[in-house]
Amino acid sequence: MNTTPKAPIVLIHGLWMTPTSWNTWAERFRALGHEVIVPGWPGIDDRSVADIRRNPEPLKGIGLKQIADQYEGIIRALPQKPIIMGHSFGGVITQMLADRGLGVAYVGVTPGQTAGVTTLPLSTLWTGTPILSNPFGRNGAKPLSKRHFHFTFGNDLTRAESDKLWEEFAVNSYNRVFFEGVASAFNEKNGVTHVDYDRADRAPLLVITGEIDHVVPPAIGRAVVKKYTSTGSPAIVDYKEFAGRTHRIVSQNGWEEVADYALEWATSHAAVTA
């Protein structure tokens, strides 16, 4: 009888979201016997959406390295290496943590690109326009309008349906994170999101995309995978695209299919790694 404890799972949320965006997957994974840890980014931590909107000051000036460092501290305190899954910019942080060798398997769910991946479709650039159009706001924490939320997260919904989700989930941006992410795309060697694509001992990585995602279209996911696999590294990097899925893939109707695929892939590859 196998008495090996199941790997813990660390879930990393993305920009404009809080840990509550992972409630669907977290509850499902816990029901299957996994310890699930869902920390908030620095400045969000365990604060409510309403509280963050009232006072976004703690979000200002926070960058990707500071966020990744906080997650590293949490992960190193765990009794065993976890499976690490991240959504959107959380997928960028997941890749940064993979480069630090912190997990037994990694899943980037519609992940942003790391340094040197220059694919930027027009819909992705439009996503960042409210932030990038004001370089003087680099260290700010701009609110996400309901209109822009509809484009980025709710493009499969009516505006009224999307607005309801905005009320429940959306928080201010970490402007610096967006600026760093875009700048790093064109600075592979010294960008904040630099990773060693050629690393041979990196645990397996899965990249998931959604067919109708405006923020991270499949073109970005494929470019990320190509960046890793073109090096000749023996480390496993797999790709999966889900039809009809938006950037709200972790909670969109039918999310169970995506969650189950991610978990099955991660646990099977984590077992091989172990």
Q: Determine the structural domain holding residue 117 and report its residue range.
A: 9-273
Q: Is there a domain that residue 41 lies in?
A: yes
Instruction: Give 139-154 pLDDT, tens digit per residue.
Output: 999 999 999 999 999 9
Q: What is the pLDDT of residue 192?
A: 97
- Structure pTM? 0.96
Q: Which letter does DSSP use for residue 153 in this model?
A: T
Instruction: Give 261-270 pLDDT, tens digit per residue.
Output: 999 999 999 9
Nearest-angstrom CA–CA distance, 246 and 204 = 24
Instruction: Give 152-168 pLDDT, tens digit per residue.
Output: 999 999 999 999 999 99
Q: Is there a domain that residue 4 lies in?
A: no
Assess contact for 7 and 270: CB atoms under 8 A. yes
152-172 exposure pattern, b = at least 16 Cβ within 10 A, e = fewer: bbbbbbeeeebbebbeebbbb
Q: Is there a domain that residue 76 lies in?
A: yes
Instruction: Give 224-243 pLDDT, tens digit per residue.
Output: 999 999 999 999 999 999 99
Domain at 176, CATH number: 3.40.50.1820
Q: Is there a domain that residue 2 lies in?
A: no
Q: Is there a domain that residue 111 lies in?
A: yes
Q: Is there a domain that residue 259 lies in?
A: yes
Q: Is there a domain that residue 3 lies in?
A: no
86 phi/psi in degrees, rounded to 5 = -135, 145
Contacts of 273 (CB under 8 A, 6+ apart): 104, 105, 203, 204
**Total domains in the fold of the chain:** 1
Q: Is there a domain that residue 1 lies in?
A: no
